[in-house]
Amino acid sequence: MTRPFRFGLQSYTASSAQNWRDQARHAEASGFSTFSVADHVIGAGSALAAGNHAVQNVAAIPAMAVAMEATSTINIGSRVFCVDYRQPVVFAKELATLDFFSEGRLELGLGAGWLQSEYEAMGVQWDRPGVRLDRFEETLTLIRAHFGEGEVDVHGEYVNARGFEGVPKPVNGTPPIMIGGGAKRVLGIAGREADIVSINFNNSSGKLGADGVGSSTAEATAQKIQWIRDGAGERFDEIELELAAYFTVVTDQRDATLDALSSRFELTPEQLTQHPHALVGSVDSICEQLIERRDTYGISYITFNARVVDSVVPIVQRLAGT
């Protein structure tokens, strides 16, 4: 099944409250289907530098609420929430409230957490991946129960809640759930549970780096999709596959740009040409790349960083819905 393209815009920063509203409105007016924020908490310093990560200067939930208030049709999401950063019942209620106030425009992105230095800086327990994923699965069970009918009754090793109805109820039932990750187990869970699977780097090192970028080559992405398929079974065709085009440069100097980028990530220019998270070239050539990759991988949902929004709007307006 070939899904029509849709596009998301993700922003990490706001220079002012008005700037944040303007970013969301610009995304809505330009044909993006989703405006999202990541979920990182700490500011500049040695901890964030250890993880090689940029600063996100606004907190996800209030930033989403402001974006929802500023817009009327676009979905608003987080790509993706780290479930370890919040008490699960409070988190579920906050999510349901966002969906309630936006009249059903919440796109719910969830992940098991990966940035070790941020955990440690915040005083949050950094457990091995298997424990974080167990806790993630229990949190997902709690969220579904909170959004559903009847009293919540969840008994897990890490998440326990009982004896109450989750309120408010989502406007249109459980909002679409995106699960993001890049390793075998989380992608298997995503195949089983998600409406949208966000295919990402394998960041098991706990920080950003060349190894993460190298974990998402063309061959590695094909393997990740097989892991999703294995988890999904017969429901695979119901899943929307999403991917962030982290390395997007709209340019007529394609070869020189590929040479410069490849040296940063310990890849050859040829590898970067085929790298699913890289889109380098003219508007025409990037559109061709996206169509080819949808044919190859089934990936129809592409998220761009807000820093390249003006250069990619022609791509969005050409391909969205096709």
Span 102-125, pLDDT tens digits: 999 999 999 999 999 999 999 999
Asked if pLDDT for residue 1 goes beyond 80, the answer is no
139-195 confidence digits (pLDDT tens)? 999 999 999 999 999 999 999 999 999 999 999 989 999 999 999 999 999 999 999
Residue among 182, 60, 104, 87 at smallest CA distance from 143:
87
Q: Which domains does the chain have, with CATH numbers?
A: 6-319 (3.20.20.30)
22-81 confidence digits (pLDDT tens)? 999 999 999 999 999 999 999 999 999 999 999 999 999 999 999 999 999 999 999 999
- C-beta separation of 81 from 111 below 8 A: yes
pTM for the complete prediction?
0.96
Residue 86: predicted pLDDT: 97
**How many Å from the N-terminal Cα to the C-terminal Cα in the chain?**
13
Q: Cα 170–182–112 angle (5° rounding)? A: 50
257-311 confidence digits (pLDDT tens)? 999 888 888 889 999 999 999 999 999 999 999 999 999 999 999 999 999 999 9
Residue partners of 241: CB distance under 8 A and separation at least 6: 196, 197, 199, 225, 228, 297, 298, 299, 300, 301
Average pLDDT, the chain: 96
Residue among 61, 316, 300 at smallest CA distance from 196:
300
The answer to which of 85-99, 110-124, 203-217 has the lowest mean pLDDT is 203-217
Tokens 């070939």 belong to residue: 2
Asked if pLDDT for residue 208 goes beyond 90, the answer is no
- C-beta separation of 211 from 243 below 8 A: no
Average of pLDDT values for 208-229? 92
